[in-house]
Structure 1
Amino acid sequence: MRPRCAWIALLCSTLGSLAAPSGCGGRALRVDFEAERSATSAYVVGPGDVLEVRAWKNEALSRRVTVRPDGFITVPLVGDVMAAGRTGMTIAEEIESQAARYYNERPLVSVEVAELHSYRIYVMGEVSRPGEFTPRAQITVLQALALAGGFTRFADPDEVVIVRRDVRGERMIPFAFDEVVGKGDLRGDLPLQTNDTVVVP
């Protein structure tokens, strides 16, 4: 088995025999890049993140809150609202729905992420500085590779994969370096979700 394939084979075994890239003798990975990009277009809140809750013409509901370890935030009148695992838009809709019980008109609420603290990604394999990274903003695959110091001389850039676990399950997403950098096809330079792992064989 070629060295770069050994990385993927080990990873596949660990994750429950996910499909391996075609270059390692497995079935080719088929990816809907638009669907993956859409899934990461809105940041998913996690514990420790700081949210800015703003209610139009309503100071009582407007404040900055931190997502607790149990995933909830506390909003005046409304009480506890689950925030972890949701986007700012869905959190705002929940606050509006709950607060409507106390007002003649449903309040207009927006929720923005003021500080990221739960966002973390991993880069492993043939990079200069493999490990865990906690950027203060969502980053793409290329930016993650830059944080990890770039490829070593043993790396195979066109066999890079993103290992992702979310509500859609576990899967491996190919990252064709030459297509993205050499040919300028930026569809493959996906934004990374929290806990994504970029593997460089």
Structure 2
Amino acid sequence: MTSKAKAGSYVVGEGDKLQISVWGVASLNFEVKVRPDGMITVPGVGDVIASGRMPEELKKELTVKLKDLVKNPLVTVTVTDITNNKVFVFGSGTKPAVYDINRKTTLLQILCSLSDIKTADLKRAYLLRNREKVKVGFYMLFMLGDIEQDMQIEPNDSIFIPQHTDKNVYVVGGVNNPKAIEYREGLSVMEAILESGGFSKFASPDETRVVRKEDGHDLIIAVKGKKLIRNVDFSQNVKLKPGDFVIVDESIF
């Protein structure tokens, strides 16, 4: 792919070709290819990091470094051949995609552009860079809005988003029609119970609990069903997650 990228928008990657020009200095007008280590070699300066930077940023650094060789250097940096600007999204938790990035892009921007991550397990998602996992709080970033977890995406990054191993919610015990319900975003305890036929005549609504697996352990969330039925305490209407069990105890008295 041959193209010219405007300074200030495109992020340089390995394999890209750059035209470096210093006005009035013929020996400093040259084309250079960004090496696999992200560096370029500039005559009289040596190796300079180019990958992951915008042309304008590179221009400013070269202007400073060339002052020892040229008085008031006027430097231009142009990307003449774009070969390395793709980001890959894969995994069963979303639709696989390949993105061309031609400007600074963050992880949050990529996540917001995905078409369907309803069944994605963001707690197990990760980013691959140079074949190494980069630990990022996908769930905290996308679901809780913790922007401290956001990070800059670089060319050739890969984002792995797995699917929840269990996409169902299970309602058992004192309901009229115990069943597995396919999880959907926002599904609550009361909705799950109603879809299971409601509390049975032997149910003890106040002895309802949600059992959830977290980090290999059972997290038990108590639910006072009577308060929900009477619409007096909506805090009891717990939002469910894939794999949750809603258990309603029964009593014959």
Q: Given the two structures, how large is their TM-score scaled by the length of structure 2?
A: 0.41
The structure whose residues are more often helix, as a share, is 1
Greater RCO, CA 8 A, separation 6+: 1
Q: Normalising by structure 1, report the TM-score.
A: 0.49
Larger Rg: 2
* Greater share of strand: 2
